[in-house]
Amino acid sequence: MINRERLIQQFLELVQIDSETKHEREIADFLKAKFTELGLTVVEDDSAARTGHAAGNLVATLKPSDASTSQVRPFLFTCHMDTVVPGKGIKPVVGDDGYIRSDGTTILGSDDKAGVAALLEVIQVLRENNLPHGQIQFVITAGEESALAGSRAMQPGLLDAQYGFAIDSNGEVGTICIAAPTRAEIEIEILGKSAHAGVNPEDGISAIQVAGKAIARMKLGRIDETTTANIGKFVGGGETNIVPDHVVLYAEARSTSLEKINRQIESMEEAVKAVCGEYGTRYEFRSNLAYPAFHFEEDEEVVVLAKKAAQRLGMSGHTFMSGGGSDANVFNGLGIPTVNLAVGYEDIHTTAERIKSEDLVKVAEYALEIVNQSLSKK
């Protein structure tokens, strides 16, 4: 029922529309026109005013097919429209081995335009074959690649879905991400004392030295099976003849447990506090939880539906926990139980990114079967 050639051509068209994160205007306009052409009601929210991105999130609503399906519980599919860099001038290549790649100078953009293409195909199949369905919202976010900026700024009032499926996970098509961590954004400012590095260095306090010793006392990397921490960027210093008096560290911590992530944040601050105390200098430690964790049990409704749809198609339906965040985290935080479905793309965020043509078809078939399974949810 899925039109393979149409789906692939749609995907190839989508990836050739430049949409690096923060520059989503062209792809947003294309998708608004496409959803409207397919008969959906499309709203772009006002999140761009808060995120600084070129476009807001799109919410395209497909009304129930008829009166008999109006009582079916409404749900949503979500993907994101933006890509990482380098994503300008993408030239997709369909290989003889069944893979679609870029020409090697850019990413491909299957993260997440494979999901978007699959959803557009599902809508066309539903329309062409007069297939029954309840209300479905297609939420296409901006700024997912910028720490989920779009979904975090979304107007929740535009959504009336009771559960949802993100189509934006690594892994074999037919596998389901049922847990992902919360992420803390951490900024640590070390305030030392400047002095001439050659004349009177003993009068200074090197912020770089203090920061280095503090980092050395932190437990970083893999903390336990569900908790990680990382120092990502170190900014500060200046000329070599001046004892540096200012450094800022940018870090993160992740965990599926709120207790564990709070404990990790506290331990990182304790390391900074102790070293600054020894050197007699000051610090500022700032942290905030960027998005919530989520975790589902195997028998929860949204998981059961996703597994049943996968198994009906001969897919595994296996579940797993991810170490990364996605828009699914945010929708769960909004009270919409949402799992993240694997797309099958490989080597994402690199110029070696690729996806099998057949996996594009499988993703569309999977989403279509979810629509079919949703008819029993009233």
Question: pLDDT per residue over 72-99, tens digit each?
Answer: 999 999 999 999 999 999 999 999 999 9
pTM here?
0.93
Which residues on adjacent β-strands are paired with residue 248? 189, 235
Catalytic residue numbers, as ranges: 82, 144
pLDDT band with cut points at 50, 70 and 90 for residue 372: very high
Indicate if the pLDDT at residue 160 is higher than 90: yes
Span 10-19, mean pLDDT?
98
Structural Rg of the chain based on CA atoms = 24
20: helix, coil or strand? Answer: strand
Indicate if the pLDDT at residue 27 is higher than 90: yes
Indicate if the pLDDT at residue 378 is higher than 80: no
- Encoding tokens for residue 265? 């944040």
Contact 323, 228 (CB under 8 A): yes
Q: What is the pLDDT of residue 185?
A: 97
Contact 322, 179 (CB under 8 A): yes
Return the residue matching tokens 């500060």.
236
Q: What is the pLDDT of residue 190?
A: 98
End-to-end CA distance of the chain: 26
The Cα 104–Cα 84 span in angstroms is 15
Burial, 42: exposed, middle or buried (Cβ in 10 Å; 0-12, 13-18, 19+)?
middle
Span 255-261, mean pLDDT?
96
Instruction: For the chain, give the percent of residues with pLDDT over 70.
Output: 100
- Encoding tokens for residue 224? 């336990």
Contact 255, 181 (CB under 8 A): yes
Q: Give the helix ranges, DSSP H, for the chain.
A: 4-15, 25-37, 48-51, 110-128, 149-152, 207-217, 258-279, 301-312, 327-333, 357-374
pLDDT in tens, 263-321: 999 999 999 999 999 999 999 999 999 999 999 999 999 999 999 999 999 999 999 99
The Cα 301–Cα 308 span in angstroms is 11
- Encoding tokens for residue 236? 């500060």
Q: What is the pLDDT of residue 377?
A: 81
Q: What is the pLDDT of residue 308?
A: 98
What does the DSSP 8-state code read for residue 203? Answer: G
Span 247-268, mean pLDDT?
97
Homologous superfamily assigned to 4-180+293-374? Zn peptidases (3.40.630.10)
Q: Where are the domains of the chain?
A: 4-180+293-374, 182-291
Indicate if the pLDDT at residue 182 is higher than 90: yes
Contact 145, 80 (CB under 8 A): yes
Domains 4-180+293-374 and 182-291 share a fold: no
- Encoding tokens for residue 173? 């098509």
Return the residue matching tokens 């929210």.
45
Span 227-241, mean pLDDT?
96
The Cα 131–Cα 309 span in angstroms is 16
What b-and-e string marks burial along 78-98, b requiring 16 or more CB atoms within 10 Å of the CB? bbbbbbbeebeebebeeeeee
Contact 58, 119 (CB under 8 A): no
The Cα 182–Cα 329 span in angstroms is 8
- Does the domain at 182-291 match CATH 3.40.50.300? Answer given as no
In order of 114, 188, 217, 220, 236, the CA distances from 272 in angstroms are 44, 8, 8, 14, 16
pLDDT band with cut points at 50, 70 and 90 for residue 137: very high
